[in-house]
Homo-oligomer: A and B are copies of this chain.
């Protein structure tokens, strides 16, 4: 896939979690909890992606971070990217649902 800046699934999850200030470990826990353990992002993926999102300036190191916990939050740019991606994902779902429905008939 590609062309524009579509987010990978993992990036999408992490950015969705960062609509509120959260630190890495909290993000992992949140995703695991909200998906009932179906989706797991381990530390390797987590911190790899965090690094990428930082360089892309889609997230930033939020105040309230101490040496132990680094708290991140979406930048304005990041929020827009997330919203853009959300639209595309809805379109994807629409495509699949239409297809599945039509196949039933």
Number of copies: 2
Which residue of chain B lies nearest to A12 when distances are taken between CB atoms in the complex?
B92
A99-B10 contact given A39-B3, A45-B1, A93-B89, CB 8 Å threshold = no
CB distance from A80 to the nearest CB of B (A): 11
Determine the main DSSP class of A at the interface with B. helix
Does A9 count as interface, using CB distance less than 8 angstroms? yes
A79 within 8 Å of B (CB atoms): yes
> How big is the A interface, by class?
35 or more
Q: Is the CB of A100 within 8 A of B88?
A: no
Interface residues of A (CB under 8 A from B): 1-4, 6, 8-10, 12-13, 15-17, 19-20, 34-35, 37-41, 45, 74, 79, 82-83, 86, 88-93, 95-97, 99-100, 102-103
Q: List 27 A-B contacts (CB under 8 A).
A: A1-B10, A1-B40, A1-B41, A3-B37, A3-B38, A3-B39, A4-B38, A6-B9, A6-B38, A6-B39, A12-B92, A12-B96, A16-B99, A17-B95, A17-B99, A19-B99, A19-B100, A19-B102, A34-B91, A35-B88, A38-B88, A79-B103, A86-B93, A86-B96, A86-B100, A89-B89, A89-B92
